[in-house]
């Protein structure tokens, strides 16, 4: 397998988490519109766990991996923006969660949560593709980084599948 295919594989594995999050988000939005508060609460909890796990993984594993390899600096550029987006997502989760507990979830809160998650995953996907290009241009350091990243992503996928 070539290094190019390896990076595509890793980017694809990262995108699997986004698909799961998007599905839970869509389910949550649909259930909220049906005013089924008990079901909405269960779906929201699953969504919240998926999103928090994903952000924790990025903040504690993926981002530091790239920040350690400054020769891949073009790849590091979007990390600060993504960290800021994580804060916005956490705020949106908190607001939606509070509204859900009070059975008074405003449409604006649901939309803000959806927009923050979708904007972040879109930016993150773009960053991942830029990262893959950057890694192809710096093969010496990229090989070690790619191996570490592949191991991190594979372990993350396995942990998610068992939960």
Tokens of 79: 């990390």
pLDDT, average across residues 104-118 = 92
pLDDT, average across residues 26-44 = 91
Q: What pLDDT sits at residue 127?
A: 81
The phi and psi torsions of 34 (rounded to 5 degrees) equal: -90, 0
Tokens of 28: 């949550």
Q: State the CB neighbour count (10 A cutoff) for residue 90.
A: 15
pLDDT, average across residues 18-22 = 92
Domain residue extents for the chain: 3-161
> For the segment 120-158, what is each residue's pLDDT rounded down to a tens digit?
999 888 887 777 777 777 666 666 676 777 777 767 665
Answer whether 116's CB lies under 8 Å from 25's CB. no
> Helix (H, G, I), strand (E, B), or coil: what is residue 14?
helix
> For the segment 47-92, what is each residue's pLDDT rounded down to a tens digit?
999 999 989 988 988 888 777 765 665 556 678 889 999 999 999 9
In the predicted structure, residue 161 carries a pLDDT above the cut 60:
no
For residues 78 and 46, what is the distance between their CA atoms, to the nearest angstrom?
27
């Amino acid at each position: 397998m070539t290094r190019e295919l390896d990076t595509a594989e890793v980017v694809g594995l990262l995108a699997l988490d986004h698909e799961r999050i998007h599905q839970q988000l869509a389910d949550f939005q649909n259930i909220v519109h049906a005013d089924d508060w008990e079901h909405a609460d269960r779906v929201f909890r699953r969504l919240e766990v998926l999103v928090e796990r994903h952000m924790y993984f990025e903040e504690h594993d993926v981002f530091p991996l790239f920040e350690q390899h400054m020769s891949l600096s073009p790849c590091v550029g979007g990390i600060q923006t993504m960290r800021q987006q994580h804060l916005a997502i956490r705020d949106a989760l908190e607001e939606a969660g509070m509204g859900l507990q009070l059975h008074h979830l405003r449409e604006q809160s649901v939309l803000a949560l959806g927009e923050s998650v979708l904007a972040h995953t879109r930016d993150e996907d773009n960053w991942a593709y830029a990262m893959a290009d950057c890694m192809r241009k710096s093969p010496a350091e990229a090989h070690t980084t790619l191996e570490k990243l592949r191991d991190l992503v594979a372990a993350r996928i396995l942990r998610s599948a068992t939960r």
